[in-house]
Every structure is written in C-alpha cells, then in structure tokens.
Amino acid sequence: MTSEASKAVPLTCHGHSRPVTHLSFSSVVDDDQYYLVSACKDNNPMLRDGITGDWIGTFMGHKGAVWQARLSGDASLAATGSADFSAKVWNTYTGETLHTFQHAHIVRSVAFPTQARPQFLATGGAEKKLRIFDLNRSSSPDATGSTSDASYEIGPGVYGGTIKSIIWGSDFNILATASDDRKIRWWDLRSRTPIRGYEIEGLVGSCELNTPPFESNAPGVLSVAAGKTVYFFDGADPGRLIKSVKLPYEVVSVALHGEQRKFVTGGSGDTWVRAYDFDDEKELDIYKGHHGPIWSVAFSPDGKLCATGSEDGTIKLWKFTNTSYGLWR
C-alpha cells in the first residue's frame, strides 16, 4: 500500500458481537461482484457484499463458536466449522442449511474445491481427522438437524494436533493442511497418502492460498503464519518453500498480494495491521483502527481491498489501490 492508499479511511463492518475468527472472499462472479463471509465466536457467520461490506444475511443454526467459514467459487454455497462439533453447508441465496455433518470434536477448518459448484467438502479440527464429504451422496438434514453422510478419512492416525486449516488448490487431487503438531502436509487424494511435509516453528495461526487478482484457478502461493515466522510456499509445487520471514512479534495471520509483491500481517499482541515488502522484507506501513488482535486477513479477488477480522468483533475493509474504488469513489 502506498501512502495515498493508506490515507483512505477503512470501511468498518459491524454486526458481530464477539471476536471475528476468519474471513474468506468468493471469486469474482457476475458483473465484477464478489462476496465476503465471516466466522465469529458469536455462533452466527455472516455474508456481506465484498466491495461495500454491506450485510446481506446471517446463517442461523450453529450452537457454538464458528471458527472458519468459506464460500464456493460462485458464492452459491457457504461452509462453516463450529465448536458445536458440526460443519454445515448453506445455500447463500436462501440461508437454508443444506447439510449438517456431525463430528466427535470441535471443527476448526473447512474447505471446498475451487470448482464453481463444488461436490465435496473437506473438514478438520480437534478430533485430528481430515475428512472428505461427498455432497451429492449426503442427504439433507432430518428433523434433528443432522445429515446422513458419505465420507472418508485421509491419513488415519497421522495428525498429532488440531487441524487448523485446509487448502484445496487449483489441482483437485492435492490438498494441504496446517495443524497444531507444527506441520504443513500435502496429500494426494487419489492414493490418500502424504506427498510432502514441512515442519514449522510455533503453532499455526493462519494458512491461506493467495492467488493473483482475477485468477482464482491459478496455483498461487500458500501463505502461513506460525509463531514469529511467515512462510510462503509455491502453490504449483507442493512443499517447495519460496521464502520465510522472521518477525519480531507473534504473527497470527498473513496474506500475500503477489501482484504488488507485498504482504500484510496481524499479530496477537497488538491491534495493528502491518504491510511489508515481499522482496526486501521491510515494513512499509502500519494501519491502525482495530481495538483487538487481528485474527484474519484476506485480499479481495481483484486485489483492491484488504479485509481484516479482529478480536474487537469488527471487520474492516482497507483500500489497497491508488485508484478510486467502491465507496471511495
């Protein structure tokens, strides 16, 4: 972000009553529109207009904190993982619950394949199991709210800690996971075996795939925050580390803007969003406005906004371009 962009007052999105734990954008859909979904400890994930931050709807049904939320590529589906031991799939047009998958422990991570209308859902969490659900073979919720599911587990007994994030990249057959046993793993879904592993320093805070603007199917870069280090892995070559950057604070969230060659971070010990140059690793700017740690950062699919979710229960949208955009016109 340049000094001109940093002067723009961020948009503040209210509505949540507890800490915002995760943010995820859809791809660009009709007429350059895209959407943003937020997970929160208030049990109620929300859908918003990605450009303006305007509230569209709240998905009602979870009975525990929602740790992660993601949208399908065409934004027609949302998936959420919750402390109520369930993962849910929602119709974003009606707010209806399409599937409820019960687990034996807290669900911390969910992921769709990158296809526009996905047929599968991956889940992980405190039960230390990576599971794949076939949405076409799973029934709709019954009177109790549960779903009869067709699922299988990947790598039984492998995980020694909570699965905090799952990434389904451009190659449908390759899945990446980040877990609290301090390891990033890449799996081949055809053989259901691990193909790569990488030891990280510290507990994982965030793990997200960052793709170039308007290229949702590009391999992108896998960005990981763990301890006081951020890691950047090649999305086209599982396990290949592009670089790691050590920071002087505990970092819990990171997102890379590959086109501008900058990355932004959130830390657990302060309330600031920091921007860095990817190449020389120098701090470029600090963005102040939140009143709690920044648990999630994400770039919009066109690369012109950066969204941050905080302990203070708010979401902020920061302009990441020098041109007029959205409500900053």
Please give the Cα distance from 227 to 262 (Å, whole number). Answer: 20
Q: Residue 140: pLDDT above 90?
A: no
Judge whether residue 246 has pLDDT over 90: yes
Contact 62, 43 (CB under 8 A): yes
pTM for the predicted model, two decimal places? 0.92
pLDDT at 5 (0 to 100): 45
The overall average pLDDT reported for the chain is 92
Q: Would you say residue 95 has pLDDT above 50?
A: yes
Q: Which residues pair with 316 in a beta bridge?
A: 12, 308
The confidence score (pLDDT) of residue 2 equals 44
Beta bridge partners of 39: 22
Number of domains in the chain: 1
Predicted confidence (pLDDT) at residue 314 exceeds the cutoff of 70: yes
Which residue range is the domain that position 37 belongs to? 3-328
Taking only the tens place, the pLDDT of each residue in 35-60 is 999 999 999 999 999 999 999 999 99
Is 213 exposed, middle or buried, given 0-12, 13-18 or 19+ CB atoms closer than 10 A? middle
Of 5 and 120, the structure prediction assigns the larger pLDDT to 120
Per cent of the chain over pLDDT 90 is: 83
Average pLDDT value for residue range 255-272 = 94
**Which CATH number characterizes residue 15's domain?**
2.130.10.10
Q: Are 162 and 125 in contact (CB under 8 A)?
A: yes
Q: With a cut of 60, say whether residue 244 has pLDDT above it.
A: yes
The end-to-end CA distance of the chain, in Å, is 17
Query: Who wins on pLDDT, 206 or 150?
Result: 206
Query: What is the per-residue pLDDT across 315-325, written as a single tens digit (0 to 9) for each?
Result: 999 999 999 99
For 212-239, write each residue's pLDDT tens digit.
887 677 789 999 999 999 999 999 999 9
Q: Please determine, for residue 6, whether its predicted confidence score (pLDDT) is greater than 80.
A: no
